[in-house]
Structure formats: C-alpha cells, structure tokens
Structure 1
Amino acid sequence: MNVASPATARTVGFKHGERNVFFHLLTACNLSCRHCYINPDQHGTQTLSLETVRQWLRLFARSEQETNLILLGGEPTLHPELPAIIRAAKNLRYAVTVDTNGYLFHDLLNRVTPDELDYLSFSLDGPDAATNDPIRGEGVFDRCTANIRRAVAAGFNTSLIYTVSSLNVEQLPQMPALLSDLGVHRFFIQVIGLRGSSATPQSEAATHWQVEPQQWLEIIPQVAAEAAQRGIHVVFPKVFLDPGEQFQCAGIVSENYFIFPNGRVYRCPLCEDYPIHSAVIENNRLVPCDGLTEERFFQLTIPEGCVMNRLLQPGNISYHSDGTPVHCISCCLLKQEILPVSS
C-alpha cells in the first residue's frame, strides 16, 4: 500500500448532459429497515412487468450517449425478470447498477455475468451484526457479507452503501478494514434522510436520526481517506458547502430521474414523500405535471442553500446569533469523491 500519497477529496460538480435514472421496479422487500425511504402511499405497491419496464426504459434512454441506470426496489432481486431487465437496459446503452440488500433472490449471480452488469451494489449499515442488524434485521449482516464474497469471487464489480445516522456513525471508522477484507471496489457513504420510515413520528422511544454537522465533518472525510488508502473508490455527499462556494440545485443543472412503480417521476429525492412530482408516466408516455410541483421550489434562492432541505429537514441547519446559517447546505446530489490510492 502506498501511504506516502495523501488521499484528498474533490467535489464532483454537476456535468452538463450527464443523466442518472433511479428506477424502482417494485416496492416489495423482504426486510423492514428502520430508515427505509419507500412510502407505498406515494410510490405504489405494484411490481412492474418486464414489458412495462422495457417501455419505460426507452423513455429515458439516449442512443447518442450512455445513461447511468440504478435498479432499485424495495428489493430489486425479488423481481423474477431482473436478468432480462438488465439485458434490455444494456441494449439501450445504459450503464447498469443493481442496488440490493444482499439477499440476491432468484439466483441472480448465476443468471447474469459480470460483463452484463456494471456494478452490483450492496447495503450495510454497520461493520458487524451488532450494529447493522438492529437497523436492517436479524441475520442480515451475515447473509449480505457472504453474498458480497460470492459476487467478488465471481468477478462482479461491487460497491457498498452505508447510510450514516446517529445509530451507526461512531462505528463507521471500522468499515474500511471490512471493505478491504471483502474485496469491495467502491464505497458510498450516504447521509440519513428524513423520508419514509425515518420521517414517521414514533413512540416515546423516537429516534433522533440525524448526525450533528461537526460530527459529520470530523468523521466522514477521515474514514473516506482511509478507505481510499486501502484501494477503494469512495463517494460521499458534500452536505455542507465551503465558505464562498456557490449553491447549485441538481434539479436545474443536471438530469436525474427517480421513477416509481405507480408512474411518478421525481427530480429530487427529498420530495418523494409528497405528491409534488415533476412528471408521471401515462400510457408509456412521460407527461409533465401541472400545478405546485418540486420544480417550482428549485427556483427559490435562500441563504441556507437547498430549499427542500430547509423545508423538510431543518434539523440539519444551525444559525448564528444574527440569524445567518452556520453552514450552507448543498444539494443532496452533490458528491465528493476520493479516488483509490494505487498500491
């Protein structure tokens, strides 16, 4: 390992023409994660047919350029036609990632090849069962890590998503060693969002999910740098803009689409608990929505930065005595990355 070369983060600015499609094939899942963002009342409960998926994929494909496609659920490997969906997407010039909770239903590893799938992305929320399983479910850690090892051994490019909350932020520094042992190629550190289950009021044992700004700034960049030193490509949200750094909203300057089984299409993931989606798919056509949609909010300029964060997650923001925000909150889709340090 080359430890002489420092691993430093760089902000990955929004690129003109870059397109990302987050496609929820279904909302069903075998797990009941405490922070799941799926909201069946807003997202639907159906499983899309293979033909419907093919039709909808054509709406967002571009023959002249590659589009990033992330296949999601619920748990996408519960879809029995997932291998055929992957192949259909590749034929439409998508770069395909499957986000899985690690259970890999329907024998996925033996029904697709590493050449057909760009990335297989797993979710863990702890470096051990004691941290992960109270969040994601009993036995999940062992099942997920075993299948990561199988995927790596079979030659798949693998990534792992860790959703940071108050329940697991202190255990995050243990993750680089685990990722290195598992052979994971990319590491996505994700900040908890108050959406779906985590936004639902709970009983007297209500969870304070969000991580304090100072704790985030002290822990996350350091963990990311260590993972990069171990040869892992790390991506994590910018969250707080540097002084003088200009705020940009991905809903205005880039193309990101979040598609749900009921046909709703959002441009901002923070909006997904509300019927303010930008468009809807009707009769296999993408139809813009009228009225008060998320795109109206994107146009607003406030000192706090992201308007949707100010409205929906005000706990992320603290203020000076004069009422000005201590930090300007970045667009949740603005990322930083640290490239792996070559060994």
Structure 2
Amino acid sequence: MITEITGIKTIRMLYLQLLYRCNFACQHCFHGERLQHADAFTLEEAITLMRLMHKEYGTEAVNLLGGEPFVYKDLPEVVRYAKQELGLHVEICTNGYRIERRLTEIAPHLDLLRISLEGIGATNDAIRKFGSYQGALSALAHARDLGIPTGATMTVNARNIDEVLPLARTLQYYGARQLKLHHLRPVGNAAHHPELLITGTAAYGRLREQLRAADDLTIEIIVDEDLSEDGAPEVCEPLSAAAIPRIEADPRGALTMSCKAVGKDAHAFWYDKEAGHVVHRPSATDELALAVPGVVYARA
C-alpha cells in the first residue's frame, strides 16, 4: 500500500512503539496525555507487523520503544523473534530505570541499548524523574558488563544545551558509542513547557562550535540538522524517495514516516491490527498532503 501511494519501496528501520504506558512523565515527551492510554500491541500484532515490514519493504532493523518498552510484558519474546526469526538488527530505546534484570534476559539478542538522558544529574532528573540519572548510569554499566553496545539520546532544550559536552564525556566513560541529539518540537508535554524551547538559534551555533573544538571526544555525536542557526536545512528530503530510513508505528497502529510529524496525528497510513496489513487513510492534514519533510541526522 505504501509503495502504491508514494513510490517508497524500502524502509530501513521500523520504530515500534509497543505501548504508551511509561513509568516516567518527562516534560518534553511528545506523547503527552497518551502516556495514560491503554493502547498497546499484542505480541502477535507486533510480530505480524515486523514480519510484514521485513517482507514487503525490506526492513532490516527494528527499534523497540514506547512509552517505556521495559514495562511491556512480552518484550523478551518480541526481541527474540526479531533477531532469531527475522534476523533484524534490534535496538531498544529506554529510560534505563531499573531494567537490569530484564536486560540480562534479552542480552543475547540485542544489538544496541539506547538510553534517553537530558543532561547531568539534577538537570536530567528535573526533566525526567528524580533518580533517573543514576538509574540510567547503572543500566549503562550493566549493559557494558553484559557486552551490549550502548548509546544515548538527548533532546536539546534551553535547560540542557550547556550540558551536551559533559554528558558526552560521561557517556564516553561508560563505554557508550554514540550520543544522538534531537531537536525539541512543541508537541505533547513539551507544549505545556515553553520554558524548554530555545528561542535564539545562535545557541545552536555555539553548541556546534563546542563540539568541533572538543578533541577529547571519541564518542560519535549525531545531530538533528534542525539544530542549526539557520533553522531547518534545505537538505531535508521529501517523503517521495524510493527508500526512506524509518517508519514509526504508535500503539494504535498509526504510521508516521517523518519525525516532524510525530505527535501531530498527521498519519496518512495505519497498520490495521485486525487485518494485519497497512491501509491508506488520507486527510488534508496528513504528512503527505502537507509535504512534511524528513529529518536529516548527520555527524557533528
């Protein structure tokens, strides 16, 4: 269905939001009030979607997220099926809070553990949850001991932009391979926290200068190109290429191809859970009608 409508034949990675439920309520979370919703994939629905994406669109990787994926009861079964039956590259994006026992269980089938952090110590805890910073470091250390490659994500905002480098150095100490920096979009909980928004884009220029000058960093830094003094770059590709890097499925089955449409209900396609296939539900405000560009990530 996606190919017939858009011409897209290949989708490299499926971002599979297994459930909305989370043990955090982060101030910047794009899910907003949906964190309280009960929508979730059943094990069979998750398996069927991964199998469909792999077969029809050549999907070679899956990133399991939520909500918080480690509170999803069937996480081990999803991870094992993705790796053993489909041969997918398997990532999990988590808050890292008290995940050690379950992480040990899935370690043999996991290619990357990515933990979300929003700064150092109290800065992170104010945005996410008290105790979450130390919990994340504990998870990173445990993953290192298990031999699981690790990385982190950070949504750059007015409170934490000055802690990007200190966080990168801390992650490097814990053996993380990559820090991925996201641009904050005012949707979900972030819409209720305007103090997080960066209004002067010169701050992005200063951040990039700091990253270029930090010759002690060996950790890879990946940056959303919207973190730029000039705003969104012209290099953003429209969603019309034969191959795209990602598609995201939310717990209802709504599919989103651009990060810039996540959290905005701009869905042109849905995964029909009962029928087990993708359907086209066009609207005047979907990501295709509005020509929402994709997000470009590049090394800092």
Give the shorter-chain TM-score range: 0.7 to 0.9
Amino acid at match of 1:273: G
2:118 — aligned with what? 125
Report the CA distance between 1:190 and its aligned residue. Answer: 1.5
2:221 — aligned with what? 234
Please give the alpha-carbon distance, in whole angstroms, between the structure 2 residues aligned to 1:21 and 1:267. 10
Give the counterpart of 1:257 among 247, 252, 258.
247
1:143 — aligned with what? 135
Please give the alpha-carbon distance, in whole angstroms, between the structure 1 residues aligned to 2:57 and 2:256. 24
User: Against the structure 1 CA distance between its residues 43 and 212, is the aligned structure 2 distance closer, same or farther, given a 3 Å change threshold?
Assistant: farther
Larger Rg belongs to: 1
Please give the alpha-carbon distance, in whole angstroms, between the structure 2 residues aligned to 1:136 and 1:214. 26
Give the counterpart of 1:218 among 203, 206, 230.
206
User: Against the structure 1 CA distance between its residues 82 and 224, is the aligned structure 2 distance closer, same or farther, given a 3 Å change threshold?
Assistant: farther
1:113 — aligned with what? 107
1:333 — aligned with what? 295
Q: Secondary structure at the match of 1:223?
A: helix
Q: Secondary structure at the match of 2:195?
A: coil
1:67 — aligned with what? 60
User: Against the structure 1 CA distance between its residues 29 and 64, is the aligned structure 2 distance closer, same or farther, given a 3 Å change threshold?
Assistant: closer
Amino acid at match of 1:108: R
Contact 1:43 1:261 in 2 (8 A): no
Contact 2:33 2:189 in 1 (8 A): no
TM-score, length of structure 2 as denominator length: 0.85
Give the counterpart of 2:184 among 183, 187, 192.
192
Contact 2:190 2:196 in 1 (8 A): no
1:45 has 2:38 as partner: yes
User: Against the structure 1 CA distance between its residues 208 and 108, is the aligned structure 2 distance closer, same or farther, given a 3 Å change threshold?
Assistant: closer
The equivalences for 1:179-328 within 5 A come to 179-200=171-192, 206-210=194-198, 212-220=200-208, 222-223=210-211, 226=214, 229-239=216-226, 240=228, 246-253=234-241, 254-255=243-244, 256-282=246-272, 283-292=275-284, 293-298=286-291, 308=292
Please give the alpha-carbon distance, in whole angstroms, between the structure 2 residues aligned to 1:194 and 1:149. 33
Please give the alpha-carbon distance, in whole angstroms, between the structure 2 residues aligned to 1:242 and 1:99. 29
1:36 has 2:24 as partner: no
Q: Secondary structure at the match of 1:194?
A: coil
Report the CA distance between 1:188 and its aligned residue. Answer: 0.8
Unaligned runs of 5+ in 1: 1-15, 299-307, 309-330, 339-343
Give the counterpart of 2:75 among 82, 91, 99.
82
Q: Secondary structure at the match of 2:62?
A: strand
Please give the alpha-carbon distance, in whole angstroms, between the structure 1 residues aligned to 2:60 and 2:36. 23
Contact 1:121 1:159 in 2 (8 A): yes
1:21 has 2:14 as partner: yes
Q: 1:98-144 CA deviation, whole Å, 9 max, x = no partner?
A: 00001254822221224x111000011112x2211110111111111
User: Against the structure 1 CA distance between its residues 63 and 259, is the aligned structure 2 distance closer, same or farther, given a 3 Å change threshold?
Assistant: closer
1:4 — aligned with what? none
Report the CA distance between 1:40 and its aligned residue. Answer: 4.9
Contact 1:28 1:45 in 2 (8 A): yes
1:315 — aligned with what? none
Contact 1:42 1:272 in 2 (8 A): no
User: Against the structure 1 CA distance between its residues 82 and 225, is the aligned structure 2 distance closer, same or farther, given a 3 Å change threshold?
Assistant: farther
Please give the alpha-carbon distance, in whole angstroms, between the structure 2 residues aligned to 1:285 and 1:234. 36
Please give the root-mean-square deviation of Cα atoms over the aligned residues, in Å: 2.8
Q: Secondary structure at the match of 1:295?
A: coil
Give the counterpart of 2:92 among 92, 95, 98.
98
Q: Secondary structure at the match of 1:149?
A: helix
Unaligned runs of 5+ in 2: 1-8
2:6 — aligned with what? none
Amino acid at match of 2:107: T
Amino acid at match of 2:105: R
TM-score, length of structure 1 as denominator length: 0.75
Q: Secondary structure at the match of 1:287?
A: strand
Amino acid at match of 2:296: L
How many equivalent residue pairs?
A: 285
User: Against the structure 1 CA distance between its residues 332 and 291, is the aligned structure 2 distance closer, same or farther, given a 3 Å change threshold?
Assistant: closer
Report the CA distance between 1:180 and its aligned residue. Answer: 2.0
Please give the alpha-carbon distance, in whole angstroms, between the structure 2 residues aligned to 1:71 and 1:273. 17
Please give the alpha-carbon distance, in whole angstroms, between the structure 2 residues aligned to 1:67 and 1:281. 18
